[in-house]
Amino acid sequence: MKRRLRSELSLLVAGAAAALGCSSSEPRQADYKGVAYPNDRPSFDRRAGRIGYVANRNDDTVSVLDLDAMKLLGTVPVGRDPVDIDGPRHVVLDTENDLAYIALSYPFSEQSPHALIEGGTQRAGYVEALDLDDLSVMGDLRVDPSANELAFSPSLSALAVSHYDVFRALSSENDDRRANLVLVDPARDIALDDATARRSPLCAVPAAMAFSADGSRLFVACTGDDALVVVDPRTEKVLSSVKAGEFQVNKPYALVADSARGRVLLSNQVTKAVSVFDMSDEPAMLASLPVLGPPMFPVWLSDSTIAVPFQQPSGVSLFDLSTNQELLQALFPIEDCENAAELSLTSDGRLLLVCEGTHYQPGSVVELDPATLEIRAKVAVGVYPERMAISEP
Amino acid sequence: MRAPIPATGFGLLCCALLGGCSASEKTAVARGQELFESKALSPSRLNDYTCVSCHDLRASAPPSKKPGAPLAGATLRSRFWGGQEADLLHAINACRGYFMSASQPLTADDTDARALYAYLESLEPGDDAEQPFTIVTDIAALPRGDVINGLALYAQACSTCHGSMHDGRGRLSERVPILPEDTINEPTHADFTPRVMRLVFTEKIRHGLFLGYSGVMPPFSAETLSDGEVSDVLEALGVLGE
């Protein structure tokens, strides 16, 4: 209503101005004096508590969660295309600049038979910079097809983008199978539509990535090369590429790194095992922890304990890293949590799990009891979530 | 909520009270209406569309077969494009970019963008509810339809852009294909069986330029055309799949 009153007053002013100033014989256009295109988006107060941001890749939205109350605050559409699936894969937060970055993957861009006949090709991926208050789009940057995972280094203010480009890997040979690593430094320039993407060939089908705490190293799970790759982001040089696991084919996908503990955890989907590496320029595998199904994104619960989500069946296992023994395993009925994907531990010790769901119906975020792995609370999100970024107050 | 005062009338009343406007002064609302009704919303020479090509101002009974939603009330809505856009200007720019071949988006500071907003605002209250717009992504073989109903639907949904069936009389421009012949005779369609050709027509109606297609055609949502109505249009076009 205030907006209407403001608009009517502005029209009064405009009318008066027009009446006083319409002596010119040249037709001219009066400017609209009201507030055109007012921003009526809801904003999300990050200072009030823990907020979770979940990208839903099959409905082009971000679910915003109040993680303290375990309730949905809002569902915000993202992406550049109002019809096609933009495939938002992953949100990372740049709280210093009040921004979030999201990768758009366009997962179905090569699947229309008619488009292929017409010569259609893969679509380029994009990274969008979103205002963290209301997730409105500030700017974007074109990257390569199959933009997949993001990693953000607060130390460098740099963003890394991987491209899970299976098409390239299958249709090329040798070094041409490698997809580019894109580095954006400073990442905040994306919000100004003034960012430069530094591209360098990385490996075949790179997936998850993590920066070291000081930003001097980037660790990458390279699915196609079956390797853990270490990159110097300043020079873009690949420092090493070590085998992902103890078997002939391991198929790494998820990866988390902890600089304080000096470890990288690499989840191998074929061998259904998490490889534990030291966090060096030539990582050495210290242990391989078998789980019941393909493992996803694990989390440290303490210096000696990690929790690993896995799929088919959907569950979580706790491991003691000092003995490499499984301590506890929980399986979830599909109605409670189908396709467990990523675990997070909040600063107050709460264990949260993203459940992908069927990929065609809404997924969820559940809170687990860290000791028993029982589900304490659940909140529905959008279609095909995989990862969650958490803003702590 | 109090009864709203039509903004256009309010502005004109102000003009009249203050001594009257010269004809040389074009209000923002008038300019906005001009943009709405002309091709000038896009600077591209390739643009054949106006907003009116795809949108009515207000809902009608029976419902219009234009692919876009009625726009009175759009300034009060929070979601557009079936919920996929949360900003009115982004939604407008999507139309300009995809259908009207505009290479650069309008910004909220552009005089024309502001004038268009003024015009849309003058249409308030309209319908402030989010308008359903369900894209039919999976294309299936449709049963045969009704040719009489199909001819009527063609006149409402297709002829505005494509002109008369078979000769294109009255079409938006020579770039717009004459239906069904131009589509059937596309060189890349030479090997298509009748069954596949029917799927191509169905896909084009449902997806427009999106979902891996191309061109500048808007998609017809499930709310605008039911599967049965698409069958009827195909029947009228003679794209029978056999």
Residue B24 has pLDDT above 80, yes or no: no
Task: Provide CB contacts within 8 A for A149, sequence distance 6+.
Answer: A89, A90, A103, A161, A162, A164, A206, A207, A208, A209
Report the pLDDT value the prediction gives residue B10, as an integer from 0 to 100: 42
Determine what percent of chain B is predicted with pLDDT higher than 90.
81
Determine what percent of chain A is predicted with pLDDT higher than 70.
90
| Cβ–Cβ under 8 Å, residues B131 and B77 | yes
Confidence of residue A108 (pLDDT cuts 50, 70, 90): confident
Nearest to A22 among B24, B90, B212 (CB): B24
Q: Residues 136 to 155 of A: which have CB under 8 A from any B CB?
A: 136-137
Residue A130 has pLDDT above 70, yes or no: yes
Which among A197, A158, A157 has a CA at the least distance from the CA of A181?
Answer: A197
Provide, as residue numbers in chain B, all residues whose Cβ is less than 8 Å from the Cβ of A14: 11, 14, 27-28
Report the pLDDT value the prediction gives residue B212, as an integer from 0 to 100: 77
Report the pLDDT value the prediction gives residue A25, as an integer from 0 to 100: 55
A286-304 burial: b if 16+ Cβ within 10 Å, else e? ebbbbbbbbbbbbbbbeee
Higher-pLDDT residue of B8 and B203 is: B203
Distance of CA A219 to the CA centre of its chain: 16
pLDDT in tens, A299-322: 999 999 999 999 999 999 999 999
Q: Residues 18 to 47 of A: which have CB under 8 A from any B CB?
A: 18-34, 36-37, 39-41
Higher-pLDDT residue of B117 and A24 is: B117
Which among A277, A280, A279, A282 has a CA at the least distance from the CA of A252?
Answer: A277
Q: What is the mean pLDDT of chain A?
A: 91
Higher-pLDDT residue of A153 and A121 is: A153
A15 near B CB under 8 A: yes
Tokens 């993590």 appear where? A210
Determine what percent of chain B is predicted with pLDDT higher than 70.
90
The Cα of A12 is separated from the nearest Cα of chain B by a number of Å equal to 6
**Half-sphere exposure of residue A160: CA atoms within 13 angstroms, side-chain side:** 31
Rounded CA gap, A15 and A2, in Å?
Answer: 20
| Cβ–Cβ under 8 Å, residues A104 and A93 | no
Supply φ then ψ for residue A72, to 5 degrees. Answer: -80, 125
Confidence of residue B7 (pLDDT cuts 50, 70, 90): very low
Residue A4 has pLDDT above 50, yes or no: no
Report the pLDDT value the prediction gives residue A117, as an integer from 0 to 100: 56
Provide, as residue numbers in chain B, all residues whose Cβ is less than 8 Å from the Cβ of A40: 78
Q: Residues 79 to 108 of A: which have CB under 8 A from any B CB?
A: 79, 81-84, 108
Element (H, E) at B28: helix B28-37
The Cα of B218 is separated from the nearest Cα of chain A by a number of Å equal to 10
Residue A343 has pLDDT above 90, yes or no: yes
Q: Look up residue B2 and give its two tokens.
A: 């109090």
Cross-chain Cβ contact A18/B21 below 8 Å: yes
Query: Which amino acid is located at A346 in the chain?
Result: T
Residue of B nearest to A118 (CA): B188
**Range name among A12-21, A336-345, A354-363 with the lowest pLDDT average:** A12-21
Supply φ then ψ for residue B116, to 5 degrees. Answer: -65, -40
Rounded CA gap, A293 and A310, in Å?
Answer: 5
Cross-chain Cβ contact A30/B207 below 8 Å: no
Nearest to A7 among B23, B27, B121 (CB): B121
Mean local confidence (pLDDT), B38-60: 95
Report the pLDDT value the prediction gives residue A1, as an integer from 0 to 100: 37
Nearest to A11 among B14, B94, B200 (CB): B14
pLDDT in tens, A219-252: 999 999 999 999 999 999 999 999 999 999 999 9
Q: Residues 113 to 132 of A: which have CB under 8 A from any B CB?
A: 114-118, 120
Mean local confidence (pLDDT), B149-174: 96
Confidence of residue B143 (pLDDT cuts 50, 70, 90): very high
Cross-chain Cβ contact B7/A12 below 8 Å: no
Residue B23 has pLDDT above 70, yes or no: no
Confidence of residue B6 (pLDDT cuts 50, 70, 90): very low
Confidence of residue B19 (pLDDT cuts 50, 70, 90): very low
Query: What does each C-alpha distance from A150 to A143, A187, B69, B89 come to in angstroms?
Result: 12, 11, 36, 28
Cross-chain Cβ contact A37/B117 below 8 Å: yes
The Cα of B127 is separated from the nearest Cα of chain A by a number of Å equal to 15
Task: Decide: residue B170, CB within 10 A, 0-12 exposed, 13-18 middle, 19+ buried.
Answer: exposed
Interface test with B, best of A2, A6, A25, A37 (most B CBs within 10 A): A37
A76 near B CB under 8 A: yes
Rounded CA gap, A54 and B75, in Å?
Answer: 29
Confidence of residue A12 (pLDDT cuts 50, 70, 90): very low
Residue B5 has pLDDT above 90, yes or no: no
Sheet with A285-290: strands ordered across: A252-258, A263-268, A273-278, A285-290
A10 near B CB under 8 A: no
Report the pLDDT value the prediction gives residue A107, as an integer from 0 to 100: 84
The Cα of A133 is separated from the nearest Cα of chain B by a number of Å equal to 14
Report the pLDDT value the prediction gives residue A330, as an integer from 0 to 100: 98
Cross-chain Cβ contact A4/B124 below 8 Å: yes
Nearest to A30 among B28, B94, B211 (CB): B28
| Cβ–Cβ under 8 Å, residues B132 and B80 | no
Predicted model pTM: 0.87
Q: Look up residue B173 and give its two tokens.
A: 């421009």
Three-class DSSP category at A70: coil
Confidence of residue A290 (pLDDT cuts 50, 70, 90): very high
Mean local confidence (pLDDT), A180-201: 96
Confidence of residue A13 (pLDDT cuts 50, 70, 90): very low
Which among B141, B134, B44, B142 has a CA at the least distance from the CA of B97?
Answer: B44
Residue B122 has pLDDT above 60, yes or no: yes
Confidence of residue A361 (pLDDT cuts 50, 70, 90): very high
Confidence of residue A28 (pLDDT cuts 50, 70, 90): confident
- Inter-axis angle of helices B194-207 and B227-237, nearest 10: 130
Nearest to A16 among B18, B78, B81 (CB): B18
The Cα of A33 is separated from the nearest Cα of chain B by a number of Å equal to 9
In chain A, helix, strand, coil percent, each to 5? Answer: 10, 45, 45
Q: What is the mean pLDDT of chain B?
A: 89
Rounded CA gap, B84 and A62, in Å?
Answer: 11
